[in-house]
Structure 1
Amino acid sequence: MATTMRGWSEGIRVLLSVVLAVVLLTVLVFSLDTAAISAALLDADWSILALAAGCALFAQLCWNLMTVWILRTADDSLPRTRLLLAALAGTFGKLVLPLGNLGGAAVLAYAISEGVDGRFRDVFPPVSASELLRFGGSLAVATIGLVGLALRPVSGFQGPYVVVLLSTLAVGLFAGGVTVAYRRERLGRLVQQFASVLHAVLGMFSRRLSSRLAPESVASAVQSFLESFDRATANRRRLAVAGTLGLAGWLAFGLALTLSFAAVGVTLPLALALFVAPASGLATLLPTPGGLGSSEVALTAVFVLLSVASPELATAAVLLYRLVTYWLVVAVGGLASVYLSMSVWQALE
């Protein structure tokens, strides 16, 4: 009964998130001139859009290869091809689950552990390392974009705004890098202290939580995580290769945004695209699958406010961008998930 109720609860949550995404998209499209949006989409240059799709797929390949690279640094016996397919399946999970991007490392680690018959606790630390590298790459590319905007400002986004954001990102990159490189043990102690507070509060209501959050259990789990994380990031050369893959992925992702606007006849400065593409990840924090609906609304609003294009052209370009960076990736990840599921059933037979 408890399992059934939990299944119903999950189903309702997914349904509500899809409904919210549909509502946001509907409000976006029907609050504007739908005929103009349709005309822009129909007149789009599909050869340019194909290049955008290639960039989007290249970005996902880079990020998944980065994950595979880090995982094989921790354990080189893991099968490379199956790891890549499992990483694609994990990406599919991140994009279709409500708040999937927020719990990206856990979703990705679960899919990979299932795909290669591994243990979640062994896979999670190196996957966390790869997700941190990916996040660092997004900050680096956003910084590159801001430097470009400082040199060649665009209307509505000049001077003090660029300087403040650039300074914030630079400080964030430095502080984050120092923390991960030299203060991991300190982070581990903070996790243990937080867990002890939860143990004192929640342990009174649940014996299971009390056991899971017991100081000795948390200390053991944190120590195991840090040791596995260190193994995955010990080889500096391999770490540099993984970081380069992550950076290349974000550069391709920004280029896909510029090309999507070019497909509807709008020139979007590459520097602005390199800043906006990583920053748009904030919209995925809303409880919709992969930021569906919220990303489209946020991106359109940004480009209209910056006078990049009319609301209708901006909407059309953003819809095309999401077509190649969201729906296309969902399709590829879904195929990988189906293939892995079929291979599991064949093995059982």
Structure 2
Amino acid sequence: MTGQKGGSFAEMFGRQTLVKMGVGFVIALVLVYLLGTVVGWEKTIAELREADPTWIALGCLSTLLCLMMWGRAWQIVLGVGGIEVPYHKLVVTYFAATFANYVTPLGQAGGEPFIAYVLSRDTDADYEQSLASVVTADLLNLLPFFNFAAVGVAYLVLQTSFGGSDTVDNLVLGLGALAVGVPAVVWAGWRHRTGVEEAVVRIVRPLSRLTSRISADGIRHRIERFYTAIERITAEPQALARALGYSYLGWFLFTIPMYTAVRATGADMNAILVFFIVPASTIAGLVPTPGGLGAVEGALTVLLSQVGGLPTSSSLAVATLYRVESYLFALLVGGIAALWVTIRA
């Protein structure tokens, strides 16, 4: 690997990006402050001070193992595409890419091109191969996402004590729409890939007349290489099944920090509810703040209160601990990995 590739990770965080990140974090912190003001900071802080650090540490460990499992699934998908990267190297790149995704506004809403850029700069893969592997791995992660959510929804529907609410009904509707809409869009994009290619080229062609940096033929070639990479990956169902197994394990580990956060505060909630609350809260991660900061905490507080039956102060305390374990800890690990990726050339 050349020094240029190692330095390219740092180049992504230019002045304009840093300004957007700063504004995003300020807005997010204001939202968190307002949420705490509405709920009541005193009771929430009191519960946080009494939280059991052992359970918090277990939640952080689960987050670390979760990212490692998803990194392993990523490695399998890359291997199917003909890109062999040692796991000890790729997992660091995956942590670094996760950091970049989590600190960038709207990263949660469409960070695949961003992660593919990091991967292409830190491995021997070209951008189209990287993007194809990232998209495939993300699609594999959707299946356990919806399956775990279905378990939680089924429990809510079957338990006699659940009366329903507008918030929960809307989240169930949102999860259902995603479960139907995402596969439909993927199928249409694959089934009509020639039409997708032509549509993108038509959009790009007027721009290519304004700048020499964009070429309609170059875009067409990139799209064709992307679909070729996808075809090569999907031709190995056994390998994809192994990657899917790691995706399921990663998603299970992704839900555990919510359970450990509940246990850390001494709150009482049925453990199976985390299979609904965690996937449902990720919808709030689509807001334009880094990692959905502010919006996810608000959604979790509402869900823990209305679905989990916790007092609002306990709900905010649990939501805060969960985000410490799953988001802030991932930022810490990913930030260290990002520095290592930058200097290890």
Category of TM-score, reference length = shorter chain = 0.7 to 0.9
Per the alignment, residue 326 of structure 2 pairs with 325
Offset, 1:265:
1.6
1:149 alignment partner, one of 148, 151, 156: 156
Q: Where does 1:196-215 land on structure 2 (aligned, <5 Å)?
A: 196-199=201-204, 202=207, 206-208=210-212, 211-212=214-215, 214=216
1:72 is matched with: 79
Change (3 A) 1:42 1:137: same
User: What is the aligned-residue identity percentage?
Assistant: 25
Q: Residues 282 and 194 (structure 1 numbering): CA distance in 2 closer, same or farther, change over 3 Å?
A: farther
For 1:342, the equivalent position in structure 2 comes to 343
Q: Secondary structure at the match of 2:291?
A: coil
Kept after mapping to 2: 8 A contact 1:98/1:287: yes
Distance 2:155 2:192 in 1: 34
Work out the CA distance in 1 between the residues paired with 2:181 and 2:298. 32
TM-score normalized by structure 2? 0.86
**Is 1:186 matched up with 2:187?**
no
Q: What does residue 347 of structure 1 align with? A: none
Bigger mean CA deviation after superposition, 94-103 or 109-118 = 109-118
C-alpha separation in 2, matches of 1:190 and 1:107? 25
The answer on whether the counterparts of 1:64 and 1:87 sit within 8 Å (CA) in structure 2 is yes
Query: How big is the shift at 1:318?
Result: 0.4
Gaps in structure 2 of 5+ consecutive residues: 1-12
Structure 1 residues 1-349: aligned runs within 5 Å: 7-152=14-159, 155-157=162-164, 165=172, 169=176, 173=179, 180=186, 185-199=190-204, 202=207, 206-208=210-212, 211-212=214-215, 214=216, 216-306=217-307, 308-344=309-345
- TM-score, normalising length: structure 1: 0.85
Partner amino acid for 2:256? L
**Structure 1 residue runs of 4+, over 4 Å off?**
161-164, 171-180, 200-204
Amino acid at match of 1:221: R
| Cα shift readout 1:164-220 (whole Å, capped 9, x = no counterpart) | 948973x8657755775x65543423422432452466567x3347x43x3x44432
Q: What do residues 98-136 of structure 1 show as CA deviations (whole Å, max 9, x unaligned)? A: 111223211221222222243222211111110111123
Kindly tell me the number of residue pairs found equivalent between the two proteins. Answer: 333
Q: CA RMSD in A?
A: 2.9
Instruction: Measure how far apart 1:226 and its partner are.
Output: 1.0
- Equivalent-residue separation in structure 1 for 2:77 and 2:38 (angstroms): 45
For structure 1, which segment, 121-130 or 147-156, has the greater mean C-alpha deviation from structure 2 after superposition? 147-156
Q: Contact 1:137 / 1:247 at 8 angstroms: preserved in 2? A: yes
Q: What is the letter of the counterpart of residue 280 of structure 1?
A: S
Check conservation: 1:188, 1:222, Cα contact below 8 A: no
**AA matched with 1:121:** E
Alpha carbons of structure 1 residues 178 and 328: separation in structure 2 relative to 1, 3 Å: same
In structure 2, the CA distance between the partners of 1:120 and 1:260, relative to structure 1 (3 Å rule), is same
Give the partner amino acid of 2:342.
S
Cα drift, residue 156 of structure 1: 4.3
After the TM superposition, which of the residue ranges 327-336 and 259-268 deviates more from structure 2?
259-268
Q: How far apart are the structure 2 equivalents of 1:10 and 1:105?
A: 17
The unaligned stretches of length 5 or more in structure 1 are: 1-5, 345-349
Cα displacement (A) at 1:257 = 1.0
| Counterpart code for 1:279 | A
What do residues 270-305 of structure 1 show as CA deviations (whole Å, max 9, x unaligned)?
Answer: 332111212212212111111111111121122223
Greater RCO (Cα-Cα under 8 Å, separation 6 or more): 2
Deviates more, 1:277-286 or 1:195-204: 195-204
